Amino acid sequence: MEIERKLERLGLVLPEPTKVPPDLQISFVWVRLHGDRAYISGHGPLNPDGSPAPPFGRVGAEVPAEQGYAAARLAALAILSSLKRSLGDLDRIAAWLLVSGMVNVAPGFTQTTNVINGCSDLLLEVFGSEVGAHARTAIGVAQLPLNLPVVIAAEVAIR
């Protein structure tokens, strides 16, 4: 429970499970455990109650890059929340292997790396460089579900 204590010391709160709008069909699991891996479906930023967190829209238009960075941090907390429910203890995470970030971008916006750094910086802050270091992709896309500014998926090694 060391990771949960660290989150608490940092003032970070894991949100409740994702509240999906009634018209959205979910035909997947948020975390798939297989062997010594956890595959995490794409998560967006959440409010503490599990509802999608604003701002909504395209980074570089309706959403400034700094707010996109903050949204990526919230998406990382949503991922941690799902992992906590699936694993029971975040200390079971042996290594962050891959983070795949998608940014809802305005035409011409190219700072997707800076936006997804919100997730990467949080993981490094919470888990340290030995466990938290990861490979990463940060791509810009034309649209994301619910008009979210970011969606992030990941893969971790587990004990």
Task: CATH number for 2-8+30-158: choose from 3.40.190.170, 3.30.1330.40, 3.30.420.10, 3.40.228.10.
Answer: 3.30.1330.40
- Average pLDDT of the chain is 97
Domain range summary for the chain, segments of one domain joined by +: 2-8+30-158
pLDDT tens for 99-153 read 999 999 999 999 999 999 999 999 999 999 999 999 999 999 999 999 999 999 9
Classify residue 111 as exposed, middle or buried by CB count within 10 Å of its CB (0-12, 13-18, 19+): middle
Q: What angle do CA 148, 143, 54 make, to 5 degrees?
A: 15
What mean pLDDT do residues 3-23 have?
95
In the predicted structure, residue 1 carries a pLDDT above the cut 90: no
pLDDT tens for 88-111 read 999 999 999 999 999 999 999 999
State the pairing for strand pair 135-141/93-104. parallel
* pTM tops 0.95: yes
